[in-house]
């Protein structure tokens, strides 16, 4: 009876585990950027490289957006403009490095809406 039960449990465990094909996908790193007049507040100063979820939360009174570019890189990641009390979400993948963040609307960047984010290599699981 005990053996039978163990067999049933083992079967159930097999049934629910996904097929193993190497390492499971890494969960995305998360960053929240709060926009105010005229500054960004980052939920953290660094995230690990790879899949990333970046949320822009506009707690200001004006429209704000978010641009990211790796120092030395050419690609600009863009999060569309958000209205006050709106949120925007960007799903992307980031390489390790230093990223500059800025608001591209009007003169917001020069008035203080810029920040820096460090993307650090993902620790090896081996």
Please give the residue ranges that form the binding site for Cu ion (CB under 5 A): 64, 103, 105, 108, 113
- Taken as a whole, the chain contains a residue count of 126
CB nearer Cu ion, residue 49 or residue 105: 105
Taking the complex as a whole, the smallest distance from the CB of residue 58 to Cu ion amounts, in Å, to: 8
Taking the complex as a whole, the smallest distance from the CB of residue 75 to Cu ion amounts, in Å, to: 21
d(CA 69, CA 119): 11
Strand 50-58 relative to strand 29-36, pairing: parallel
Whether 33 and 42 have beta carbons less than 8 Å apart is answered as yes
Q: Which residue has the tokens 């996908």?
A: 25
CB nearer Cu ion, residue 64 or residue 70: 64
CB nearer Cu ion, residue 29 or residue 99: 99
Taking the complex as a whole, the smallest distance from the CB of residue 62 to Cu ion amounts, in Å, to: 6
CB nearer Cu ion, residue 70 or residue 108: 108
Taking the complex as a whole, the smallest distance from the CB of residue 104 to Cu ion amounts, in Å, to: 8
The DSSP 8-state label assigned to residue 80 in this structure reads: E
Q: Both ends of the chain: CA-CA distance in Å?
A: 39
Torsional class of 97: left (φ above 0), alpha (ψ -120 to 50), beta (otherwise)? left
């Amino acid at each position: 009876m005990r053996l039978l039960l163990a067999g049933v449990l083992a079967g159930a465990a097999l049934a629910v585990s996904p097929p193993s094909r190497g390492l499971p996908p890494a969960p995305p790193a998360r960053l929240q950027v709060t926009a105010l007049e005229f500054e960004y507040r980052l939920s953290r100063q660094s995230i690990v490289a790879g899949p990333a979820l970046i949320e822009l939360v506009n707690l200001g009174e004006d429209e704000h957006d978010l641009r990211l570019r790796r120092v030395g890189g050419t690609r600009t990641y863009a999060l569309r403009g958000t209205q006050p009390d709106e949120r925007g979400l960007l799903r992307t993948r980031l390489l390790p490095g230093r990223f500059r963040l800025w608001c591209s609307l009007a003169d917001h960047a020069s008035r203080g809406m810029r920040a820096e984010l460090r993307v650090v290599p993902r620790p090896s699981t081996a």
